Structure 1
Amino acid sequence: MLTKQTRSKFNEEAKEIVSKLTLEEKVHLMSGSVTFNDMMEDLDAHNKNKHYNWKVYEAGGNEQMGIPKLGFCDGPRGVVTGQSTCFPVTVARGATFNKMLEERVGIAIAQEIRGYGGNFYGGVCINMPYSPGWGRSQETYGEDSFHLGAMGGSLVKGIQSQGVIACIKHFAFNSMENARFKVSVAADKRTEREIFLAHFKDCIDAGAAAVMTAYNKYKGDHCGENSYLIDVLRKEWGYDGIIVSDFGWGIYDTVKAANAGMNVEMCNTSVFGRKLVKAVQDGKVSEKVINDSAINIIRTLLAFKKNPDPINYTKENLIANDEHINLAKIVAEESCTLVKNDGILPFNNSKNEKILILGRLAGIANLGDHGSSEVFPPYSVTIKDGLIAKSEGTIGFYDGRDIEKAKKLALDYDKVIFVVGYDYKNEGEYIEDGDFKIGGDRKDGFGLEQYDRDLIEKVSEVNKENVTLIVSGSMITLDKWADSTKAIMYTYYSGMEGGSAIAEVLFGDVNPSGKLPFVIPKNENDLPQVNWTSEEQRYEYYHGYMRLEKYNKECKYPYGFGLSYTKFNISQPQIELKSDSIVASCIVTNIGSRKGKEVVQLYVGYDNSKVDRAVKTLKGFEKVELYPGESKTVKIICPLDKLKYYKEKENKWILEPMLYQGYIGSSSDKKDLFEVDFEIQKY
């Protein structure tokens, strides 16, 4: 793992190299090498021979001085370059609540990047979806800051263990899509530090060697030119890695961006390059600013160049190989989140069983957004094809376009599977080219499309033995149609092996173990309200499950909730104070008849706080696998720093001496939690 300590060993060498470079050579290190026209041609959806980032996008480098080029590959559901393994989208991986599994995903992605000759992964997306209507919610792990930091940190560790630079993005407050180039976000300082920046620091602490700034503004300044935000990184957090701009439109003002601390303009050069050289010559940017950027870049690249992974990575032996594809399937299996099951699942895989699949999404390769995160795998397994391959019985399929026809068909089948939800046209990175528009934020609410609701309600009248699979990149609300179906499972965009994985879960070969990485409210109006086309948006402290709990609003299903085909018992919950941490523990026993995995969650409450705080917040989680009758002790360690709040007047973090409420269990719902109070004395 290449950490800040590893990078610091190259400080003097980097300074020595910089002292020998001309101004033009130093500025070249700060400049993307892909032309704007080439990038736009790659972004053209009608170009069938290429796609965005189809090859490694390079920047900087100096062969004579031994400085490698920055070789960029985007993500986050795999490597956008070439034909790579397509993993489930990030929100699906968030639903696994499996840090070790996410680290394995990072290892696989980094190996494929090395196979393409790259050294820089721009796919650690950890933005906070202030509202689940954000079009790119699928690219991040969920709505909780602690969860984002823990899962993102695991991906960082996996990526960098293989000699690839992990870039976390988009710093910061990037939670709106349609207005991302014009919106200016505002928040009070406590909200900023506790809710929107904390997980970025977690990933910096995990060793992340690069940060990408966001398109949007924060308090009036574009994030790529925002000296306040960059000072938080550099001066407060001690970050010494590379800062890159978001592509094409990440910075606008040469002098402002350079003086704020932007290191590399990506992926083309229009603001830096010759304009930056002239700004230095005119005295508007000091050469020290350029030197500091060059040192950051060189130090980071040397650390990775001189700590190579011993494996020889090639396209032939690592890109979309069997091991990585199997890992994508495992992730898809663990992400499946069962929230309702009235005894219908798992299905018996019988030769006499006839199952009808209804819904257009079952028959298409629905891998998620078609923007900058789109991965192009060598193949993908649809839900329909996965079920046909797995079933011993008869599988029928109809896209459900004509509901009356669907009702007639359903009469001839034992069971029905509805596949409903969204695709890249409903949500994702917003792309507009004349009449061609895809993605963007969800402007029409968080529920299913009317034709999906009608399909479920009408067909269930003639066949009540039915299951609903929800395909989406974020939360979809459940209204009256949910009463018409016996089981509901969120499958998200489940990657190239999603169809195979979902079939194995439905037939019981795999026990579902996903947990909701977002709350599902009864009333979507209880969530924060966002004007998706606004030029100004204020983010409040409370969102998601914390907001519902704070204002005593009901949820349909709580954050962290998910059912299994077996049953688990949690006993002997304890919380101890040890040095600078709390250590929570419990015994988990599988009291059912199937092997399964449970996610033990630790929440901390603040009933006795002297300031306004959440009812409780997630402060740890561990996933454990158990055979029937097996018991294991689970320990969760939470640093005391994670219990602090930010005191704005003093600009510092405060740990309150008081009695805290500890909660250990299987979801954020108090009925699923054991309360174990603990006291922190003067600290």
Structure 2
Amino acid sequence: MDIDQTLSKLTLVQKVKLLTGSGWWHTEAIPEAGIPAVRMSDGPNGVRGTQFFNGVPSSCFPASSGLGSSFDVDLAREVGKALADECRAKGCHILLAPTVNTQRSPLGGRGFESFSEDPLLNGNIAAAYINGLQSNGVSATIKHFVANDQEFQRFSISSDVSERALREIYLKPFQIAIRDANPWALMTAYNRVNGLHVSESKKFLEDILRREWGYKGMIMSDWTGVYSTAESIQAGLDLEMPGPSVMRGNAVIRCLMAEKLFPGDIDTRVRKILELVKRAQHSGIPFDAPEKSIDTPALRALLRTAAADSIVLLKNSAGILPLSAAALTKIAVIGPNAKIAMTSGGGSARLLSTYTVSPLEGIAAAAKELGGNVEVKYALGAATHRFLPLLDGYIRQSEGGDPGALVEFWNAPPSGDFLAPDVDLGASLAERDWSTPTLESNCFLMDGIDATKVNVGGYIRYSTVFTPDESGDWELSVNIAGRGNLFFDNSLLVDLSTNPEPGESWFGFGTADKRAVAKGLQANKAYKLELRINTLELVSRGLPFPCWGGIRIGASRQFDEKEAIEEAAKLAKESDVAILVIGLNHDWESEGFDRPNIEYTILSCFYRQRLTSLPPSLPLLTNTLVTAVLRANPNTIVVNQSGTPVAMPWIAEASTVVQAFYGGNELGNGLADILWGKVNPSAKVSLSFPERLEDTPSFTSFGDKGQEAGKILYNEGVFVGYRGYEIANTKPLFPFGFGLSYSTFEYSRLKTTPMLPDGTFSITFELKNTSSVPGREVAQVYIADPQASLPRPRKELKGFIKVSLQAGETRSVTMDLNREALGFYDERRGCWVAEKGAFEVLVGASSADVRLKGKVELDVDLTWTGL
């Protein structure tokens, strides 16, 4: 494509058409001008593809907070390359990732999507990820620019941040990634910053991004994140997503008529879109291609490596880890996150995995592989689900048939009273208009439907055969978009047709989750399950996009909470070692809402109030379970799975604690590799773990509690994360950069070179593996400016390196630093400043474990702007 020639031949109407996407995942095509539709896809830990319903399965990589904790830029680059391969298989030219928003609070609903609380680590991991992705011809989309750090009132809230904090903390990871990786696309945030929506902020999009930083890529909105016409175009927002247009289209023509916009404004925006189209043409990725999955031994190996390398060993005081196969005869695997693979957080990061390995499966496979007569037994102990676990894995289209369910659609009523409780479920129905099998029991019917045959607003039947794996009473739950009834073995079980309570599901158009109990079920016996829905009411409710309905069905065996904990404790006591896998899941950490607290029990109280259809005894008894198991067997390994920190009131009793984050497809095998020492843990937490929520620097100014007249005051300024803990002399539970290994490391011989006039200098030190086990150490370099003319953090991360060392090996490490390691942002002068004087160089194993100290001297003041 010759962009100048193409632009000159486009009509004004065609140019305006290009300013908005086509549907949810494509740009507009203008075939007569040789412009194809470019395809996009979510998200940060996997390529979901273009369909919510019956989408093509994808590989799920570890959550970004886990990948950030690896401190491994080479791994991030390899993950980026693999994601590019996934994009190619799905005909995707633009991946809507990575997310580099700062983890300001552990409560942030999308905290698991970001790499770190520290801007340097955040930006460097992001840059490696982007370079890997774009080296294979797929555009990255760095997001969400900027200060999109909470979900509370995310479309309207104003993040009120000082200019210095913006520059040093919130803009800095974007600046690093743009300088070092040049992402071809950027996505603006939903929120306002200092009163103005970012999507219409000339300061951020033109003045900082394009002029000061020299950014050349295309800028798109977040989905439905455009709130103006002329203002967003003049500010520099190129593309409104998704389509059809809400704020552009004919409104742009009207603004041109009124000369609120001029043809040159439109040309400038269209040029950026055409530049990205041209990149897509050069990528070799076909346009409008069918979507495929990838599943190769090499990809599985990378997924397993990424899962293991994202796991942090937090405590190993009794030396239980690594496990010895020879010393074990019985292993207890306990906990709510053991049997079900919690691969990722929720929202746009979630996807249908090609396959999953749960912790229970991974541990059992490792025990079998190591030989001997190791017995692995499982107990739930306590449940932590907000919604009942999905039926996936328990359902078949017919008894003994293929996995999944059959979904049928009728445009007209297929029988007399389709939803009546006494309807003859065996009676023949009118000929359906369309049907499709599905593997899922969570069906968002906004796509994947043959729209030529099925109207929006009709009748749906979801039918399957449910086979429980345990005998007993089973609780089933359902929420839908529309009105309907759930029948179990030909009897009405759940009524959502008679004045159903409204809920938060399906973008607020669904019912509340409703539960009922099917009594006396037998393990491995097949039961008929059928859900019938009338979706006519959706037509009149003003949906912002076409939607044929929504279905979510879950199930869980009922149990007595006290008895379940006693059973788990008994199993632990009878075993050589107990592996207790606890944590959160995509119900609790997700786009769309923030967590109210880091305590499991307070979560229970909060959601009882918001989800009144849930039973009052919502069994979030995690801490009780942990205490009981620890007392039953001191040889207990506590594995916590969460994207961001949770409270650990039992930490003093636990000798062995592992932070597993959300590990993607291979989380179970990756965990087993760490537990048995097949992989020596080397990750270190990329965000501080507080003892109490009250200790966090943002405690008074986050979410609904910090909201003040539609704005959040970022009161902590630049003292975010470990910077804030240190300035307040508050000790976190686990400090930033902390993580243990099965090896031990010794730091020595720190040397610094004289600083050049431009602020560049080098440091050299020696790192020795003093153990008998090969391992990898993340050495961290911090800089302190004790003579600064304004308050500065006690130290700031300015470099890190991951070093592999054989047993007994010593290696010399050299790191080059420059003025960026010395400076702060001076709001008065509108530039970066490094003041002359002495700076401390601190080298250590974490932000709280400094092993070496040195000094460098800057002879003259330095000032600069831009990259």
On whether the aligned pair clears a TM of 0.5, the verdict is yes
Paired residues for 1:338-353 under 5 Å: 338-342=313-317, 343-350=319-326, 352-353=328-329
Contact 2:68 2:686 in 1 (8 A): yes
CA shift at 1:580, angstroms?
A: 4.8
Structure having the higher helix fraction is 1
SS at match of 2:238: coil
Which residues of structure 1 form unaligned runs of 5+?
1-9, 40-56, 431-439
Partner of 2:663: 494
CA shift at 1:369, angstroms?
A: 2.1
SS at match of 2:846: coil
Moved more, 588-597 or 145-154: 588-597
Partner of 2:843: 664
Among 37, 43, 47, the residue aligned to 1:75? 43
Instruction: Please tell me whether residue 532 in structure 1 is matched to residue 703 in structure 2.
Output: yes
Contact 1:252 1:271 in 2 (8 A): yes
Instruction: Please tell me whether residue 441 in structure 1 is matched to residue 620 in structure 2.
Output: no
Partner of 1:47: none
Partner of 2:747: 570
CA shift at 1:308, angstroms?
A: 5.0
CA distance in 1, matches of 2:300, 2:762: 36
SS at match of 1:557: coil
CA shift at 1:233, angstroms?
A: 1.0
Instruction: Please tell me whether residue 514 in structure 1 is matched to residue 514 in structure 2.
Output: no
CA shift at 1:135, angstroms?
A: 0.8
Which amino acid letter does the alignment assign opposite residue 472 of structure 1?
A: S
Partner of 2:306: 331
Partner of 1:208: 183
Instruction: Please tell me whether residue 15 in structure 1 is matched to residue 4 in structure 2.
Output: yes
Instruction: Please tell me whether residue 452 in structure 1 is matched to residue 622 in structure 2.
Output: yes
SS at match of 2:378: strand
Partner of 2:631: 461
CA distance in 1, matches of 2:784, 2:580: 39
Which residues of structure 2 form unaligned runs of 5+?
50-55, 369-373, 383-563, 604-619, 863-867
In the TM superposition, what whole-angstrom CA distance separates every residue of 1:68-103 from its partner, at most 9, and x where no partner exists?
433111110011113111100100000100001101
User: Structure 1 residues 405, 651: closer, same or farther in 2, change over 3 A?
Assistant: same
Which amino acid letter does the alignment assign opposite residue 565 of structure 1?
A: Y
Among 354, 365, 383, the residue aligned to 2:330? 354
In the TM superposition, what whole-angstrom CA distance separates every residue of 1:278-303 from its partner, at most 9, and x where no partner exists?
32233221111111111122223324
Moved more, 250-259 or 521-530: 521-530
CA distance in 1, matches of 2:820, 2:691: 34
CA distance in 2, matches of 1:181, 1:642: 35
CA distance in 1, matches of 2:722, 2:838: 23
Paired residues for 1:337-416 under 5 Å: 337-342=312-317, 343-350=319-326, 352-392=328-368, 393-401=374-382, 402-416=564-578
Contact 1:407 1:458 in 2 (8 A): yes
Partner of 2:123: 149
In the TM superposition, what whole-angstrom CA distance separates every residue of 1:517-572 from its partner, at most 9, and x where no partner exists?
01123333121123423321011321210001111111222110110011111222
In the TM superposition, what whole-angstrom CA distance separates every residue of 1:322-348 from its partner, at most 9, and x where no partner exists?
322221110111111011102111111
SS at match of 1:482: coil
CA distance in 2, matches of 1:67, 1:680: 54
SS at match of 2:591: strand
SS at match of 1:429: coil
Size of the aligned set, in residue pairs, is 636
SS at match of 2:76: helix
In the TM superposition, what whole-angstrom CA distance separates every residue of 1:472-504 from its partner, at most 9, and x where no partner exists?
01122332x012221011000011001001011
User: Structure 1 residues 553, 568: closer, same or farther in 2, change over 3 A?
Assistant: same
In the TM superposition, what whole-angstrom CA distance separates every residue of 1:386-408 from its partner, at most 9, and x where no partner exists?
00011141111101032122222
Among 143, 152, 157, the residue aligned to 1:178? 152
Among 403, 423, 427, the residue aligned to 2:585? 423
Which amino acid letter does the alignment assign opposite residue 444 of structure 1?
A: N
Among 477, 481, 489, the residue aligned to 2:647? 477
SS at match of 2:223: coil
Contact 1:410 1:416 in 2 (8 A): yes
Partner of 2:264: 288
CA shift at 1:320, angstroms?
A: 3.4
Among 274, 285, 300, the residue aligned to 1:298? 274
CA distance in 2, matches of 1:295, 1:306: 17
Contact 2:597 2:693 in 1 (8 A): no
SS at match of 1:597: strand
CA shift at 1:654, angstroms?
A: 0.8
Contact 1:320 1:377 in 2 (8 A): no
CA shift at 1:111, angstroms?
A: 1.6
CA shift at 1:643, angstroms?
A: 2.2
User: Structure 1 residues 553, 151: closer, same or farther in 2, change over 3 A?
Assistant: same
SS at match of 2:14: helix
Paired residues for 1:574-589 under 5 Å: 574-576=751-753, 577=755, 580-589=759-768
In the TM superposition, what whole-angstrom CA distance separates every residue of 1:252-289 from its partner, at most 9, and x where no partner exists?
22122112211001121221122223322332211111
CA shift at 1:309, angstroms?
A: 8.7
TM-score, normalised with respect to structure 1: 0.90
RMSD of aligned residue pairs (Cα, Å) = 2.0
Moved more, 632-641 or 468-477: 632-641
Partner of 1:217: 192
CA distance in 2, matches of 1:380, 1:260: 44
CA shift at 1:446, angstroms?
A: 5.0
CA shift at 1:352, angstroms?
A: 4.4
Partner of 1:54: none
Partner of 1:679: 857
User: Structure 1 residues 395, 614: closer, same or farther in 2, change over 3 A?
Assistant: same
Contact 1:644 1:655 in 2 (8 A): yes
CA distance in 2, matches of 1:322, 1:637: 38
Among 92, 95, 99, the residue aligned to 1:121? 95
SS at match of 1:610: coil
Partner of 1:3: none
CA shift at 1:632, angstroms?
A: 2.0
Contact 2:783 2:821 in 1 (8 A): no
CA shift at 1:349, angstroms?
A: 1.4
Among 25, 30, 37, the residue aligned to 1:62? 30
CA shift at 1:649, angstroms?
A: 1.2
In the TM superposition, what whole-angstrom CA distance separates every residue of 1:355-374 from its partner, at most 9, and x where no partner exists?
11111111112112231111
CA distance in 2, matches of 1:667, 1:238: 34
SS at match of 1:364: coil
CA shift at 1:447, angstroms?
A: 5.9
CA shift at 1:64, angstroms?
A: 3.7
**What fraction of aligned residue pairs are identical, expressed as a percent?**
31
SS at match of 2:752: strand
CA shift at 1:620, angstroms?
A: 0.9
In the TM superposition, what whole-angstrom CA distance separates every residue of 1:204-249 from its partner, at most 9, and x where no partner exists?
112111110011111222221222221221222121210000012x
SS at match of 1:75: coil
CA shift at 1:112, angstroms?
A: 1.3
User: Structure 1 residues 129, 546: closer, same or farther in 2, change over 3 A?
Assistant: same
User: Structure 1 residues 573, 465: closer, same or farther in 2, change over 3 A?
Assistant: same
Among 507, 523, 526, the residue aligned to 2:692? 523
Partner of 1:243: 219
Contact 1:446 1:475 in 2 (8 A): no
User: Structure 1 residues 582, 315: closer, same or farther in 2, change over 3 A?
Assistant: farther
Contact 1:162 1:309 in 2 (8 A): no
Contact 1:83 1:320 in 2 (8 A): no
Contact 1:663 1:675 in 2 (8 A): yes
CA distance in 2, matches of 1:90, 1:446: 22
Partner of 1:43: none
CA distance in 2, matches of 1:592, 1:531: 44
CA distance in 2, matches of 1:308, 1:202: 29
* Higher Cα radius of gyration: 2
TM-score, normalised with respect to structure 2: 0.71
CA distance in 2, matches of 1:128, 1:673: 27
Contact 1:667 1:673 in 2 (8 A): no
Contact 1:112 1:315 in 2 (8 A): no
SS at match of 2:172: helix
